[in-house]
Amino acid sequence: MPRKKVADRTGPPKTRTRSGCQGCRASRVRCDTQKPVCSRCRAKGLPCSTELVLKWESEFVSRGLAFGRAGVWSKSKSRSDGASAGASASLSAGDSEWCDYPAVGAWGFVNSDASTFENPYEVNVACDALDAVVVHGKGRGASPASVDDGFVSSPRALSLFPHMPESSQMHLFEYYLDQVCPRTTASLKNASPFASVILPFCLTASPTLFKAIQALGACHWSRFDSTYSVMGLRLKSEALRGLRHRLATQGSLTCANDPEVLMTMMMLCLYEIVDNCDQRWTIHLKGAKELIRVRRQEQAVAGQSQSGRDPISAFAELFFAFQDVMGRTACGEEVLFGTDYWREEDQKIDLWMGCSPELVSILSSITELSRTRRQIATDAAQAAFSLRTASLGSRLETLVQEIDGSEDEVLQSAAELKRLAAILYLHCALNGASPSTSLVVGYVRRILQLVSNLLDSGSLVSMTWPLFVAAVELDPLQDELWSDSTDGTVVYGRSLILRALAVMAESSVSNIARTRAVIIKVWQARDSDMLKGSPVGSASDPAGCNDWEWYVAPVSTAMSLA
């Protein structure tokens, strides 16, 4: 069909195109859009680029320019005579209505890079540097960042250990008492056993234990002042050297009956948890387990009861057993300290654990039972498994945890948090529940509501494990939790969790950077599977991998969640 003549055309000629190259568009000439180079650019020897260029209205408004043809061109020709052709449709600054947005801290960013997709099971703690999770000046008591100034300016008090030389870095021991110990218990009314039990023993302790305690103090202080990192490493090396010499010269049998050896190993274990929280802290855990086994065997041969232990040995054994149980709930590996280390009838809330020994005994049983779930081969075994699961769930539902002494609401809340998290963990590890399960959604909200209340009160000690369990089982499609009763703002789960982790980084002794990195890794995996579908099988398939085993366990090796 022949082209119409100019006189026969209706309407203005179409000279604009959206597919022209950048050079022709900048010169306001028609581009013939030939590929790979248009005729004009080929004739003039110019680079021909057809890349998309994004333009932002806010930038044009700030320069006083019209945004594209807004307010200038219209298909309708019935424009009023008073309208100016150059008028812009953009609102003036006085007519703009800005929306409120919440304050965003450095802790609120979740970073992803190529390694997130190339190594889905590799947790990069370096990406969650402490600068992104520590909120300075909002901790309990004196701010650690100002502790050094306090030691320099205030007059030195009489030393508790006059037999120690002046050059023995006693200010690190004082830092341990003033800053580390209060961060090991949720109670605001009672002293931490890290002070009440260990301090009297230190009056007659050897320099090796002192160096281990000072190394822990320096390592924790290095979170806020990196100059103490080298000092802590040197003190740790000296304490390790002294411990190895003692084990080599005295033998395991003698060392197993010496409470100072277990106490030194406990301090070195805490050092590794605070420092990097990698496989190195489990080395001290396994070594302590061997010494405790030797001592128990000797006591059994001699006919001695476990109740006659000295307080130092009892506390050290409690420390290692609790670290083992809580850490292995995440990875699902074999428990070193089994249920025989816990008294099932003990309902008193421990100041350091933040829960009762009965609850820890149930958690240990859940972890051991979860390891047998995929080995079920018969209907009888499945029935026994279901019966055992129901029994543990019933015990958790009716569990009563008591406070020894005066009322302590914060400690009671910490114990209730752990009980709710234990119920959630049971359903995920044994019953195949997932974040979209209505029961899981309900318990996650209850846990995060308690976390929010404790966050407002400023006490976040002994919350690492409950927050971790709720965080990894948070449904990405149900992140909106509730509306604040005061101002009506919406509270989102991930934002609340990241804010709590930021405050906990300063108010606890746990390695929050590692915990945060694992939580984010689980979130990224869930977000990725939202597009391609979850690979987890149905909850009714006992041989299949459940949600906890697929998302949480592979990235949670050697975690400390105590």
Query: For residue range 353-377, what is the model confidence (pLDDT) as tens digits?
Result: 999 999 999 999 999 999 998 888 8
Greatest Cα pair distance in the chain: 117
Same domain, yes or no, for 313 and 460?
A: yes
> Band of the pLDDT at 49, cuts 50, 70, 90?
confident
**Domain membership flag for residue 12:** no
- 259-291, pLDDT tens digit by residue? 999 999 999 999 999 998 889 999 999 999 999
Using the structure block, give the residue that is written with the tokens 């590692």.
Answer: 514
Domain carrying residue 48 = 22-53
pLDDT at 322: 95
pLDDT at 146: 45
Instruction: Give the list of residues 6+ apart from residue 228 with CB closer than 8 angstroms, or none.
Output: 218, 219, 221, 222
Same domain, yes or no, for 313 and 452?
A: yes
- 450-461, pLDDT tens digit by residue? 999 998 887 788
Record the pTM.
0.78
Given 10, 33, 53, the domain boundary residue is 53
Higher pLDDT, 449 or 538: 449
Buried b (16+ CB within 10 A) or exposed e, 366-405: bbbbbeebeebeeeeeeeebeeebeebbebbeebebebee
Q: State phi, psi for 509 to the nearest 5 degrees.
A: -95, -10
- 24-34, pLDDT tens digit by residue? 888 888 888 88
Given 7, 35, 53, the domain boundary residue is 53
**Domain membership flag for residue 241:** yes
Instruction: Give the list of residues 6+ apart from residue 348 with CB closer than 8 angstroms, or none.
Output: 356, 357, 401, 402, 403, 404
**Domain membership flag for residue 264:** yes
Q: How far is Cα 492 from Cα 220, in angstroms, rounded to an integer?
A: 31
Higher pLDDT, 110 or 415: 415
**Domain membership flag for residue 69:** no
Q: State phi, psi for 131 to the nearest 5 degrees.
A: -60, -25
Is the pLDDT score of 47 beyond 60?
Answer: yes
**Domain membership flag for residue 94:** no
Structural domains counted in the chain: 2
pLDDT at 251: 87
Which residues are bridge partners to 490 per DSSP? 483
Q: How far is Cα 281 from Cα 73, in angstroms, rounded to an integer?
A: 70
> Band of the pLDDT at 350, cuts 50, 70, 90?
very high
Same domain, yes or no, for 45 and 190?
A: no
pLDDT at 152: 36
Same domain, yes or no, for 49 and 177?
A: no
- 201-237, pLDDT tens digit by residue? 888 888 999 999 999 999 999 988 889 999 999 999 9
From 41-45, 159-163, 175-179, 497-501, the region with the lowest mean pLDDT: 159-163
Given 31, 53, 75, the domain boundary residue is 53
> Band of the pLDDT at 83, cuts 50, 70, 90?
very low
**Domain membership flag for residue 381:** no
Mean pLDDT in residue range 402-420: 89
**Domain membership flag for residue 15:** no
**Domain membership flag for residue 5:** no
pLDDT at 522: 94
Report yes or no: 434 and 547 within 8 Å, Cβ to Cβ: yes
Q: Which burial class, exposed, middle or buried, applies to 1 when counting CB atoms under 10 A from its CB (0-12, 13-18, 19+)? A: exposed
Report yes or no: 312 and 198 within 8 Å, Cβ to Cβ: yes
Mean pLDDT in residue range 507-516: 90
Buried b (16+ CB within 10 A) or exposed e, 450-488: bbbebbeeebbbbbbbbbbbbbbbbeeeeeebeeeeeee
